[in-house]
Structure 1
């Protein structure tokens, strides 16, 4: 019976695991980059307590991403999805001090960053809700990995454009 269950996995179920692990890896890297400011000689990365908040949240984001790795290795889709969603929320919280200080510019040249700032927590909350209720665990894993998947598609499209037209 378990063997039939393994063979009947859909493409979405097969794609959820690598995307979840890749998202956890990128979240760990992002969190460690916030913590690395203090080891690179930048004593005050932001004014006031904002720098310490970013570093603390970055460290917690890395810990949540490592928990996601452990849960993914144990093949716990629900737990890994919740850990990645928590890591995404901690990463979002680490950006709050700079957003409060500088604001979001929806009319500037970079229109993607404010949209990501708004969409990222919504995706994390939606995925965490689905994973917590254990309603659609594969959909939850795909939702929490959506930003990573879009990023991969952008890199592939950029590489194709560079290959076709050059730099």
Structure 2
């Protein structure tokens, strides 16, 4: 295994595993929430066949994310990175029926969603390519979990701002 051959103890290597596991946990949650939309009576992300497509792909996303936990337990950095990237791409695919039906507003109030819609799959594809070629595995792991890390930083910044100034 590549992870056993390179016993890299750098800070980046130590940070990669928790970020991958946290990203996988969030992907499981997102996949299961996509499945639940159809059964909860909540407004579907897309109507008709699009809602069922979203639920099916969300279920596949959850399965891929659960595979991350198995691969992480085996300490297989390459496989873990590939599984996280696959889960992210499946999560992106599950949003396509609603984007086709409702469109993607690049000029609306929420400017983060279109950026996330474009950047997230690109980062996953780059990380999967690096992991597939078995080069720069730590960089691939950090790349695939970059959006999760960015989200953590935003939550920390928000908490600091609230602690300093209040609501």
TM-score (norm 1): 0.93
Match of 1:148 in 2: 148
The SS at the match of 2:46 is coil
Structure 2 unaligned segments of length 5 or more: list them: 1-5
Distance 1:153 1:98 in 2: 28
Question: 1:81-96, aligned counterparts within 5 Å?
Answer: 81-96=81-96
Distance 2:114 2:43 in 1: 27
Distance 2:15 2:36 in 1: 32
The SS at the match of 1:148 is helix
Number of aligned positions between the proteins: 162
Match of 1:59 in 2: 59
Distance 1:23 1:123 in 2: 13
Question: 1:23-42, aligned counterparts within 5 Å?
Answer: 23-42=23-42
The root-mean-square deviation of aligned C-alpha atoms, in Å, is 1.4
The SS at the match of 1:134 is coil
Distance 1:41 1:135 in 2: 45
Distance 1:95 1:43 in 2: 14
Distance 1:128 1:45 in 2: 27
